[in-house]
A and B are shown apart, each in its own frame.
Chain A
Amino acid sequence: MDWKRRQVLYAGGGAGFLAELASLGLLRPAAAREQTPRAGFVAKTVADVLSASGLAGAADSAQVQLEAPEIAENGAVVPLKISSDLPRVDRIAILVEKNPVILSALFDLPEGTDPSIATRVKMAETCRIIAVVRSDGKAYLASKEVKVTVGGCGG
């Protein structure tokens, strides 16, 4: 998403607008950008999202499980379950590769919380969903393509 589009997006957004400006790093010194907590939500590529979220270099792993339907009857609600057999998982991220905002959610799991999350995401179009977990400081991922279909009478 380019900056102009974001302006339209948040026109009239009030506090939300300022919050996003802050998260974009525009209200802070440039040097602080990497550290802004929501940097992952403005990154424009999967790699940038991962590095902004402390998940750089994530590699495919069979020890990350992503459950998602093959086909979504509606892109507005796509149910997902993410879990992992890896030890000491302290972070989980959900990415939707072709959404205007790629990062969908970022979870921080304290000790005692299992790497097992279910939620529902919006998908703008058919694409890959990527689940990333961080275990002992290393990132691992699983992905799955979900087809988004047009439904109903369409009128």
Chain B
Amino acid sequence: MRIRASVRDGVTEAKVLMQHPMETGLRKDESGALVPAWFITEVTATHQERVVLRAQFGTSISANPYLAFHFHGGKPGDRIVVSWVDTKGDRRSDEATIA
């Protein structure tokens, strides 16, 4: 995951890139076989342990999802954590500090 966050005029902008294939289950591979669905279903972002965004994804969020959002109350050095869970039950969590 790549997380970038910066604060301007009291509003923190967070930009997140997540590595994930986001397979719809409708795509065929090179041999013509259907690739099983496999995608992120939930994303949670916290700022200093407080939830600032909860997202549910379907199959039609693009591969390697990008997400940008804005919240109040952040200041440089604060901790942001972004976590996701996918249809296989895999989880991933990464953090960054606000610049």
Give the interface of A toward B (CB within 8 A): 8-16, 19-20, 37-38, 41, 76-79, 96, 99-101, 103-110, 112-114, 116-123
Whether A101 lies near B65 (C-beta < 8 A) is no
Contacts of B88 in A (CB 8 A): 14-16
Q: How many residues on the B side are at the interface (Cβ–Cβ under 8 A)? A: 37
State the total of A-B contacts with C-beta under 8 angstroms. 123
Whether A106 lies near B60 (C-beta < 8 A) is no
Whether A105 lies near B56 (C-beta < 8 A) is yes
Contacts of A110 in B (CB 8 A): 50-54
Distance (Å) between the CB of B29 and the closest chain A CB? 13
Whether A114 lies near B11 (C-beta < 8 A) is yes
B25 located at the interface, meaning its Cβ lies under 8 Å from any Cβ of chain A in the complex = yes
Contact with A along B36-48 (1 / 0, CB 8 A): 1110010000000
Whether A121 lies near B61 (C-beta < 8 A) is yes
Whether A119 lies near B36 (C-beta < 8 A) is no
Contact residues of A: prevailing secondary structure: mixed
Whether A122 lies near B24 (C-beta < 8 A) is yes
Give the interface of B toward A (CB within 8 A): 11, 22, 24-26, 34, 36-38, 41, 50-63, 65-73, 86-89
Whether B62 lies near A76 (C-beta < 8 A) is yes
Whether B59 lies near A77 (C-beta < 8 A) is no
Whether A106 lies near B56 (C-beta < 8 A) is yes
Q: Which residue of B lies closest to A79 (CB)?
A: B66
Given contacts A14-B88, A16-B38, A108-B54, contact A119 B68 (CB under 8 A): yes
Contacts of A100 in B (CB 8 A): 24, 26, 59
**Complex formed: what's the CA distance from A8 to B34 in Å?**
8
